[in-house]
Amino acid sequence: MRQLFAPGADAVLRLCIFATIGGVFIAALVVGGVARSSYVTGVGIAPEQPVPFSHKHHAGELGLDCRYCHQGVETTASAGLPPIHTCMTCHSQIWTGAPMLAPVRDSYATDTPLHWVRVNRLPDYVYFNHSIHIAKGVGCTTCHGNIDGMQLTSRANAFEMSWCLTCHRNPAPFLRQPDQVFDMHWKPATDQAALGARLAIENHIRSPVALTDCSICHR
C-alpha cells in the first residue's frame, strides 16, 4: 500500500500546532504589554508645555495649596486651570525678566490664554466630578500621585476602568479626614479599614453596588 504522508509528517504537524499556539500566546503578551505601556497610557510621560511649570517647586518647595491654582476643585466637576492673572500674582514681582516666563508675560499683556496640554484626560464618554470626590474624602494624590515631587507634570495612573472600579468597590482604604484631602504626604492610618468604613458612613457614600452602576460614570 502506498503511503500518503511522509514519515515525519506527524512531527511536522505537531510542530506547526505548537508554533501556532505559541505565536498566539506571544502575540497576546505583546498586545497586552503595549496596551499597558506608557506609550499608550501616558503614565510617566510629561508632554511639552508652553511653559515648563514645576509642581515640585510650587507645591513641594513653596508649599502652595492645590486650590490656589485649581480653584474649582471643591465646587465643580473640573479642577480648572489657573487664569494667567493667578500666575502674575507672584510673577509680576519675582522672576519678572526670566526668559522661560516670557509666554506668561505675553499672555497677560495680550489677554490671550496659554494653551496647556492636558495631562490627565478621560475619554468623552466618561463622567468624572472632582468636587464629589473631594467632598467624600478622596485626596489629590490618590489619583495624581506625588505631584508635589514632579519637576514636570506627568500622569501617575492610567485611569483605566478597572482602576476606578477598584476604589468604587471598596472606597474605605482611600478615604481621608477632611483636613487631609489636600495633604501631599498623606499615608493610610494604621486603622485605615475601620477609619475608612466610618468615613464612608459619615460622608454618605453609596454602597459598592450603587457605585459600580454603569450610570455613575457613563451618562
50: three-class secondary structure by DSSP:
coil
Q: For residues 65 and 59, what is the distance between their CA atoms, to the nearest angstrom?
A: 7
Instruction: Identify the band that residue 219 occupies on the pLDDT scale cut at 50, 70 and 90.
Output: confident
Q: Is the pLDDT of residue 112 over 90?
A: yes
CB 55 within 8 A of CB 153: yes
- Using the CB atoms, write b or e for 81-108: b if 16+ within 10 Å: eeebeebbeebeeeeeeeeebebbbebb
In the DSSP assignment, the letter for residue 56 is I
Contact residues for 88 (Cβ-Cβ < 8 A; gap 6+):
104, 105, 108
Report in angstroms the alpha-carbon separations of 17 from 7, 24, 27, 29, 37: 17, 11, 15, 19, 30
Query: Which pLDDT belongs to residue 67?
Result: 95
175: three-class secondary structure by DSSP:
strand
pLDDT, tens digit (0-9, with 9 covering 90-100), for 2-23? 555 566 666 776 777 877 887 7
pLDDT, tens digit (0-9, with 9 covering 90-100), for 164-186? 999 999 999 999 999 999 999 99
Q: For residues 216 and 156, what is the distance between their CA atoms, to the nearest angstrom?
A: 23
Q: For residues 138 and 181, what is the distance between their CA atoms, to the nearest angstrom?
A: 6
pLDDT, tens digit (0-9, with 9 covering 90-100), for 116-160? 999 998 999 999 999 999 999 999 999 999 999 999 999 999 999
| The three cell numbers locating residue 142 | 490618590
Mean pLDDT, the chain, integer: 89
Q: Is the pLDDT of residue 218 over 90?
A: yes
Query: Which pLDDT belongs to residue 208?
Result: 87
Instruction: Identify the band that residue 162 occupies on the pLDDT scale cut at 50, 70 and 90.
Output: very high
Instruction: Identify the band that residue 59 occupies on the pLDDT scale cut at 50, 70 and 90.
Output: very high
Per-residue pLDDT averaged across 37-53, rounded? 85
| The three cell numbers locating residue 9 | 509528517
With pLDDT > 70 as the criterion, what percentage of the chain qualifies? 88
Q: Of 28-42, 55-69, 78-92, 101-115, give the lowest mean pLDDT range.
A: 28-42
Residue 119: name the closest of 34, 35, 39, 48 by CA. Answer: 48
